[in-house]
Structure 1
Amino acid sequence: MNRSPAPSTQQRTFVVNRRHFEQSRQLSAPAPTPEQLQPGQLLLAVDRFAFTANNITYAAMGKALRYWEFFPAEGEEGIIPVWGFADVIASRCEGIEVGERIYGYYPMASHLRVEPVQVSDASFVDGSEHRRSLPVIYNQYIRSAVDPIYRADTEALQMLLRPLFTTSFLLDDFFIDNQLFGARSLVLTSASSKTALGMAFLLSQQRDQRTLDYEVVGLTSARNRAFVESLGCYDRVLEYGAVESLDPGVATAIVDFAGMGELLGRLHRHFDTQLTYSCLVGAAHWDARAGAPAELPGAAPEMFFAPTQAQKRLKEWGGAAFQQRVATAWATFLDFVGGWMRVEEALGGEAAERVYQQTLAGDIDPQTGYILSLRQD
């Protein structure tokens, strides 16, 4: 992957209306300078970042899960968080040098100022006051030089899939930790989404090592069905219109990545008392979740918040063991996706706007992953 040129003297920021996501614009202002850094601060130039349906979920859940608070904007506008790589271009933090490559959680912008705390050889946490009460999993930044997952030639896949795969890993772990909530069938909506694929991959790959007997069913659109079937992660792949063909007598758990309220209602009514768990994860169809009835038969829907399961396992396993387990699973998943995923770069403000609007509209090929940058036009 080609690296961007040195950052300009202008800071570019992509903002959206927090209630009307289709309304977006780009702001330009003088970039922070090294002279403006306070003791202990870093200035990062955000090089490239991934943009997927997961980022639309951050916007859709921005108020409820506090995503808007990481990178505050003014008035009715918000800055959507993204995962990517940045370079240290100025440092007043002992032990972190100019030129370091840093992976982590960034604004859709060209620059970010952070205040590292808990600095180690491997990582640091942004201790900026407005982020201290927010989940640490989003505040931790990884120093690429010693990151066991990092490879320069797979940066794009790391940006696109690492945060999604971590959620997939935690979902798989959460369900196995809870004995699948007594279910014999797991139904994953938006089966072509990258987080759903990651979970299905882990459920399929590790099934022989587990004592649980389960089937993994993927629900997707007619357009994506052939692609999803070709990957071999699901035992069965059905179109959304075929929900009622599933056996309603089988104890079933739903993992809803789609966020379509009407579909969620159909699933609840179909399985009724045999629905043992209803897990809400994403909002690929962010504008449709409101279509779900207030009262649904079966298990009440519950939102999955990945940091909660991560904190549980960090406490039980320890940080090093947790990272090693994720890294081991990631290596096998990377081999899997490397065979079919296409990466496209969209550099500059106009390109970022185009990809944002396409993703918002759900008009993205599931085989394509987009890498954006606001550092060059």
Structure 2
Amino acid sequence: MDHPSFIVQRDNLRETRWVEDEAASAPLAADQVRLRVDGFALTSNNVTYGAFGDTLRYWDFYPCAVEGFGRVPVWGFANVVESGVEGVAVGERFYGYYPMSSHVVMQPAGIDNSGFVDGAPHRRELHPVYNKLTRCSTDPGYRADQEAEMALLRPLYITSFLIDDFLADNGFFGAQQVLIASASSKTAYGTAFCLSRRRGTPGAPTVVGLTSPANRAFTESLGCYDRVLAYDDLATLAAATPTVYVDMSGSAPLRAQVHAHFGDRLAYSCSVGGTHWDELGGGKGLAGPRPVMFFAPAQIKKRLGDWGGAGLGQRIAEAWSAFMKPVGDARTPWLTVARGRGPREVEQAWRELIDGRTDPRRGHLLSL
């Protein structure tokens, strides 16, 4: 296969296929550009995209012609290889939201110094946060030697920043404790890091992580959780403590246990991820509050109104800079990059993530 494209069955993420990437050779219209996808991150966040693909329309960004299958989007870098569009030149490099394919065709709109938005008709109703392509040559946060960290962590950490901001903006719903499931996942420990920066301030909650026994030592080593428990130790937490639950796992059985344990002392139940994608389920009939799906673009919209684009960008940049210090620590880094190329290594990384077998300290940076 000259130009591979990775697709997965929408209702069973373990079923995968490789198909020829039509975007590699399809004729371009006068208002389109073709980009070669150079490298992309693959993390449990992408499993969440698949798990909530129908609910949050992640499947709609890159439609798939194979019935019942979809393209899981990824964050990464691509180079323009063909363009007749003024303001988007061949050879330029862009950071953005791509398919796991060799190429992608886009229809640039709103072109400015920072980049462009994919104005393809099928994307106009989708959230613009995911449609923006950022021009690397003008991005103040771009560093060529940190592309791996940028692809692997920046979109996740922005979500972490926004979860922390949302909870703080709501006074932590009166809770004294934030309980985070799938605590070893990157979005989870990014959230815990943001929360940990509030230690010692009035109203700051304690932060408790729930994780598997295999990942407990790693999660404890991060230092951003006040306490780390294995899933089976949930019952050791004081049930009377007002608690916010931040669910990165999506596990319906675990959610039911958390709600039953805290009952009316559960101040808020925030559904974020789907790392336990094969245990997903609804939120009906639970004790305590009904779970609410966290959608990062909604908090971005609120803060753009409160702070403006420059103010929001400055806050995220400062938080990112602080986060990168422990992430890239020379002695005990939170992240090590595993690079892979070609269909076999992409599929292997996907299966590791689907089965929950990936070392939490490792992040996959892949290319086709």
Q: Normalized against structure 2, the TM-score is what?
A: 0.96
Q: Return the letter of the residue paired with 1:137.
A: V
Could you list the per-position Cα deviations for residues 320-344 of structure 1 after superposition, in whole angstroms to 9, with x for gaps in the alignment? 2212211111111111111221100
Counterparts of residues 16-55 of structure 1 (less than 5 Å): 16-29=8-21, 32-33=24-25, 36-55=27-46
Q: RMSD between aligned alpha carbons?
A: 1.5
- For 1:332, the equivalent position in structure 2 comes to 322
Q: Name the SS for the 2:12 alignment partner.
A: coil
Q: Report the Cα offset of residue 132 of structure 1.
A: 0.2
- For 1:278, the equivalent position in structure 2 comes to 269
1:160 to 152, 167, 176: 152
- For 1:345, the equivalent position in structure 2 comes to 339
Counterparts of residues 63-212 of structure 1 (less than 5 Å): 63-74=54-65, 75-208=67-200, 210-212=201-203
Q: Is the CA contact (8 Å cut-off) linking 2:21 and 2:103 kept in structure 1?
A: no
Q: Return the letter of the residue paired with 1:253.
A: V
Q: Is 1:245 matched with 2:236?
A: yes
Task: For 1:129 and 1:30, locate their aligned partners in 2 and report how far apart those are by CA, in whole Å.
Answer: 18
- For 2:7, the equivalent position in structure 1 comes to 15
Q: Is the CA contact (8 Å cut-off) linking 1:187 and 1:219 kept in structure 2?
A: yes
2:259 to 268, 292, 295: 268
Q: Name the SS for the 1:62 alignment partner.
A: coil
- For 1:354, the equivalent position in structure 2 comes to 348
Unaligned runs of 5+ in 1: 1-8
Q: Return the letter of the residue paired with 2:293.
A: M
1:310 to 300, 308, 320: 300
Task: For 2:226 and 2:2, locate their aligned partners in 1 and report how far apart those are by CA, in whole Å.
Answer: 51
Q: Is 1:221 matched with 2:212?
A: yes
Structure 1 window deviating more from structure 2 (301-310 vs 20-29): it is 20-29
Q: Report the Cα offset of residue 289 of structure 1.
A: 2.2
Q: Report the Cα offset of residue 29 of structure 1.
A: 4.7
Task: For 1:317 and 1:140, locate their aligned partners in 2 and report how far apart those are by CA, in whole Å.
Answer: 20
Q: Is the CA contact (8 Å cut-off) linking 1:18 and 1:59 kept in structure 2?
A: yes
Could you list the per-position Cα deviations for residues 44-90 of structure 1 after superposition, in whole angstroms to 9, with x for gaps in the alignment? 10000000111011011001111000000021110000000000111
Q: Name the SS for the 1:332 alignment partner.
A: helix
Q: Is the CA contact (8 Å cut-off) linking 1:40 and 1:94 kept in structure 2?
A: no
Q: Name the SS for the 1:48 alignment partner.
A: strand
Q: State the identity %.
A: 47
Could you list the per-position Cα deviations for residues 270-292 of structure 1 after superposition, in whole angstroms to 9, with x for gaps in the alignment? 111100100000010001122x6
Task: For 1:213 and 1:159, locate their aligned partners in 2 and report how far apart those are by CA, in whole Å.
Answer: 30
Structure 1 window deviating more from structure 2 (126-135 vs 320-329): it is 320-329
Q: Name the SS for the 2:278 alignment partner.
A: coil
Task: For 2:34 and 2:308, locate their aligned partners in 1 and report how far apart those are by CA, in whole Å.
Answer: 30
- For 2:311, the equivalent position in structure 1 comes to 321
Q: Report the Cα offset of residue 318 of structure 1.
A: 1.6
Task: For 1:225 and 1:318, locate their aligned partners in 2 and report how far apart those are by CA, in whole Å.
Answer: 39
Task: For 2:160 and 2:248, locate their aligned partners in 1 and report how far apart those are by CA, in whole Å.
Answer: 11
Task: For 1:260 and 1:305, locate their aligned partners in 2 and report how far apart those are by CA, in whole Å.
Answer: 18
Q: Name the SS for the 1:22 alignment partner.
A: strand
Task: For 1:151 and 1:205, locate their aligned partners in 2 and report how far apart those are by CA, in whole Å.
Answer: 25
Q: Is 1:363 matched with 2:353?
A: no
Task: For 1:64 and 1:11, locate their aligned partners in 2 and report how far apart those are by CA, in whole Å.
Answer: 30
Task: For 2:97 and 2:49, locate their aligned partners in 1 and report how far apart those are by CA, in whole Å.
Answer: 12
- For 1:373, the equivalent position in structure 2 comes to 367
Task: For 1:298 and 1:45, locate their aligned partners in 2 and report how far apart those are by CA, in whole Å.
Answer: 49
- For 2:288, the equivalent position in structure 1 comes to 298
Q: Is the CA contact (8 Å cut-off) linking 1:86 and 1:101 kept in structure 2?
A: yes
Task: For 1:29 and 1:224, locate their aligned partners in 2 and report how far apart those are by CA, in whole Å.
Answer: 37
Q: Name the SS for the 1:272 alignment partner.
A: helix
- For 1:230, the equivalent position in structure 2 comes to 221
Q: Normalized against structure 1, the TM-score is what?
A: 0.93
Unaligned runs of 5+ in 2: none
Q: Is the CA contact (8 Å cut-off) linking 1:279 and 1:304 kept in structure 2?
A: yes
Task: For 1:365 and 1:16, locate their aligned partners in 2 and report how far apart those are by CA, in whole Å.
Answer: 23
Report the CA distance shift for 1:85/1:293 in structure 2 as closer, same or farther (over 3 A): closer
Task: For 2:81 and 2:305, locate their aligned partners in 1 and report how far apart those are by CA, in whole Å.
Answer: 34
Q: Name the SS for the 1:44 alignment partner.
A: strand
